[in-house]
C-alpha cells in the first residue's frame, strides 16, 4: 500500500498543472507486449511494475533523455521463474524471465542474453533475482560459476560514438572485487568502454575508448546510481558520477569505438581473447546506455528518474 501511495504522490506532482491521469507510457506498453511475445516468464509484469516503469519513462522524457540520448535501458524488473534464487532452477535454460527484456532496445538485440564466462552452458540457477526490496535486482549467484548479459550493442556499429556516449547502472552494493559492471574491449588495440563501481585498487572507473587517463574514485560500497560519460575530446572529456556527486574526470582521452567489434555486456568484461573476463557478483537494479549526458542531466532528471523508480520498487540506495 505504501508503494502505491508513493506512486500516486509522484503522479500528482507530475500532473500538478492539470487533472491526475494514470496511463502507461508507450515504451512500457511495448515492453509488456515483448515480454508476452518472447514468453520469457510464467507470468507477465504486474500493473504496479508497468506504472512504476511508466514513471521512469516519463521522467527521462521530461529530462530530454528519450528519445535521442538513451538507446538501450533495462530496469531489471518483472516476473522471473522463482525457485531457489528467484530466477528458476532449470538445468538447461539460460532464460531468466522479464528481467532480460530491455525496456528500451533502440540499439542492440531483442533480449539481454545470458552468455558464458566459465566454460559451462549458462544455466538459470546461476542467477539470483528479486524484483523488489533492499536485496532486489539481478545478479550472479557466485563469481565461481558466473554468467553475464549480452546487450548486442557493438560499438563499431554505433555512429559517431567517440565523444558522445554514456553508460550507467544502478547498483545494490557488494564487496570490493576485480569485477566489471559494463564493458566491451578489443584485446589487441585496448580500445574499450567500461564502467566499474568497486573494482579492486581503483573503485569506480570510466574508460571511454582508452585505458589511459580514465577517472577513478575510491568506493567500497558499490551502492546507488553510477554514470560515466564522454562528451568531448578535451583532456577532461570523460566525467563520472555517483548519485548526484561528480566523482572524477579524465586526464586524457583517446581510443576509437570503431575498433571495438565485440558487444557490450553487463556483469563482466566482453573481450576478443578470451571471450569473457572479470565477472561481478553485485546485484544490479538496472542499466542504460546511450549518447553523452551533461552534468545537469545526470544530477537532476536522470538521477531523479532512477531514484523514484527504485524507491517504488523498494530498492532505493
* Cβ(222)–Cβ(202) below 8 Å: no
The pLDDT value given to residue 21 = 39
φ and ψ at 20, to 5 degrees? -75, 125
Q: How far is residue 267's CA from residue 276's CA, in Å, rounded to a whole number? A: 10
CATH 2.60.120 fits 2-312, yes or no: yes
The pLDDT value given to residue 298 = 98
Most distant CA pair in the chain: distance in Å? 58
Joined together, the cell numbers standing for residue 179 give: 569485477
Q: Which residue has the cell 531523479?
A: 304
Give every CB contact of residue 157 below 8 A, 6+ residues apart in sequence: none
The pLDDT value given to residue 263 = 96
Measure the N-to-C terminal CA separation of the chain; round to a whole number of Å. 20
Give every CB contact of residue 181 below 8 A, 6+ residues apart in sequence: 169, 171, 195, 196, 197, 226, 266, 267, 280, 282, 284, 287
For 165-189, give the DSSP string. Answer: EEEEEEEE----BS--SEEEE-TTT
Surface-to-core class of residue 182, CB atoms within 10 Å of its CB (0-12 exposed, 13-18 middle, 19+ buried)? buried
What does each of the 317 residues of the chain score in pLDDT, given as a tens digit?
Answer: 455 445 544 443 343 333 333 589 999 999 999 998 886 667 889 999 999 999 999 999 999 999 999 999 999 999 998 889 998 887 777 788 999 999 999 999 999 998 876 666 667 778 999 999 999 999 988 877 788 999 999 999 999 999 999 999 999 999 999 999 999 999 999 999 999 999 999 999 999 999 999 999 999 999 999 999 999 999 999 999 999 999 999 999 999 999 999 999 999 999 987 777 888 989 999 999 999 999 999 999 999 999 999 999 999 99
Question: Count of CB atoms within 10 A of residue 208's CB?
Answer: 31
Q: How far is residue 162's CA from residue 235's CA, in Å, rounded to a whole number? A: 14
Q: How far is residue 52's CA from residue 32's CA, in Å, rounded to a whole number? A: 13
pTM of the model as a whole? 0.92
Q: How far is residue 116's CA from residue 143's CA, in Å, rounded to a whole number? A: 12
The pLDDT value given to residue 254 = 97
The pLDDT value given to residue 275 = 78
Amino acid at each position: 500500500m505504501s508503494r502505491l501511495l508513493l506512486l500516486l504522490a509522484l503522479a500528482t506532482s507530475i500532473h500538478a498543472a492539470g487533472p491526475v491521469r494514470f496511463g502507461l507510457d508507450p515504451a512500457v506498453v511495448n515492453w509488456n507486449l515483448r515480454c508476452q511475445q518472447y514468453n520469457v516468464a510464467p507470468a507477465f509484469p504486474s500493473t504496479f511494475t508497468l506504472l512504476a516503469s511508466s514513471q521512469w519513462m516519463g521522467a527521462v522524457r521530461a529530462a530530454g533523455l528519450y528519445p535521442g540520448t538513451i538507446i538501450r535501458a533495462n530496469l531489471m524488473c518483472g516476473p522471473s521463474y522463482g525457485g531457489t534464487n528467484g530466477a528458476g532452477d532449470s538445468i538447461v535454460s539460460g532464460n531468466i524471465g522479464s528481467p532480460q527484456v530491455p525496456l528500451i532496445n533502440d540499439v542492440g538485440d531483442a533480449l539481454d542474453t545470458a552468455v558464458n564466462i566459465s566454460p559451462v552452458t549458462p544455466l538459470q540457477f546461476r542467477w539470483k533475482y528479486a524484483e523488489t526490496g533492499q536485496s532486489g535486482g539481478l545478479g550472479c549467484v557466485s563469481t565461481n560459476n558466473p554468467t553475464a548479459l549480452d546487450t548486442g550493442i557493438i560499438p563499431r556499429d554505433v555512429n559517431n560514438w567517440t565523444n558522445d556516449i554514456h553508460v550507467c547502472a544502478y547498483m545494490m552494493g557488494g564487496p570490493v572485487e576485480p569485477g566489471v559492471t559494463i564493458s566491451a574491449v578489443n584485446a589487441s588495440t585496448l580500445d574499450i568502454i567500461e564502467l566499474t563501481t568497486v573494482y579492486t585498487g581503483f573503485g569506480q572507473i570510466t574508460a571511454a575508448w582508452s585505458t589511459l587517463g580514465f577517472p577513478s574514485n575510491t568506493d567500497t560500497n558499490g551502492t546507488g546510481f553510477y554514470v560515466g560519460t564522454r562528451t568531448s575530446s578535451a583532456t577532461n572529456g570523460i566525467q563520472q558520477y555517483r548519485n548526484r556527486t561528480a566523482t572524477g574526470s579524465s586526464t586524457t582521452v583517446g581510443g576509437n569505438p570503431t575498433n571495438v567489434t565485440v558487444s557490450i555486456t553487463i556483469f563482466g568484461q566482453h573481450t576478443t581473447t578470451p571471450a569473457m573476463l572479470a565477472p561481478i557478483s553485485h546485484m544490479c537494479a538496472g542499466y542504460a546506455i546511450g549518447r553523452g549526458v551533461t552534468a545537469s542531466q545526470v544530477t537532476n532528471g536522470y538521477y531523479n528518474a532512477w531514484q523514484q523508480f527504485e524507491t517504488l520498487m523498494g530498492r532505493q540506495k
